[in-house]
Structure 1
């Protein structure tokens, strides 16, 4: 058993570090959600921000868009040309994906400054890509509502998680100190 622990020390350290960072960030985010005042930013600040930025981008590309709080659930409706096309919920704000991304990067850490800057830059890339994803998804749902399932459950999740995966691969192959976990 001791020989296995020594042989796979880096793998075990990676898993433990990932789980600890992921747990701490997730618990912190959930505490924030539970303590956030939904009266000022509904349903929470980050979801509200994503919805408002989606509205600005949609209007910026020529759609008559608006966002309004949902009257029944904690979400914000996206309305294009008077048609309710989508809703932005807490899971759409990219924070959970960013937590997953950062947990992996920290678990595969390089130099502190490089790790910090990559986490910051990667988080911005994920956030921006997610924002574009919501805009394109909203336009897609406006024009092709019968494609809702494939757009929302297959294509766009594949794109956002594919982006995260590519960012991870760049990190592992270019910046991480531990390029080979079995070394």
Structure 2
């Protein structure tokens, strides 16, 4: 048993760091969400920020883009060219994707300063990409509503998770302690 633990120690350390950081970040996020009353259609402030930033991007293409609170559920209605196109819910704010990203980076530890900078840089990239994703999705849904499932369920998740995967590859190969050990050999 001891030999197995020694043999798989790097993997077990990775798994342990990932699980602990993911649980801590998820519980922190859930505590934040619990401050808002979803039963009274209250939207958390970060989701509201994402909706407003998406509206700002849409307004670059059409001045008749706006948001309004949804009166029956905790979401924000997003309008493009004066037409109700989408609702922004908590799951649209990409914080769960950012938590997953951060947990992986922490699990594949690097030097402290590089880790913090990469987490900040990557989180900002994911956030900006998410705003662009929502805006482009609204424009695409305005013109091609018949492809909603393909656009919302396949294409845009593929893009955002693809970028997260690319960031992970960059982290592991260039900045993690694993990368520095490989370069030393």
Contact persistence 1:42–1:48 (CA under 8 A): no
Higher relative contact order (Cα pairs below 8 Å, separated by 6+ residues): 1
Give me the whole-angstrom Cα distance separating, in 2, the residues matched to 1:36 and 1:104. Answer: 28
1: distance between equivalents of 2:74 and 2:3?
A: 51
Query: Taking structure 1 as the reference length, what is the TM-score of the superposition?
Result: 0.94
After superposition, residues 171-182 of structure 1 pair within 5 angstroms as 171-179=171-179
- Give the drift of 1:65: 0.6
Structure 1 residue 42 displacement after superposition: 4.2
Regions of 4+ moved over 3 Å: none
Q: Tell me, in whole angstroms, the C-alpha distance in 2 between the residues paired with 1:108 and 1:139.
A: 38
Q: 1:82 to 1:62 in 2, by over 3 A?
A: closer
CA distance, structure 2, for counterparts of residue 4 and residue 89 of structure 1: 45
Tell me, in whole angstroms, the C-alpha distance in 2 between the residues paired with 1:63 and 1:107.
Answer: 44
In 2, distance between residues paired with 1:116 and 1:42? 32
Give the structure 1 partner of residue 17 of structure 2.
17
* Structure 1: runs of 5+ lacking an equivalent: none
- The equivalent residue for 1:159 is 159
| Distance in 2, Cα, partners of 1:112 & 1:157 | 30
- Where structure 2 has 5 or more consecutive residues not aligned to the other structure, the ranges are none
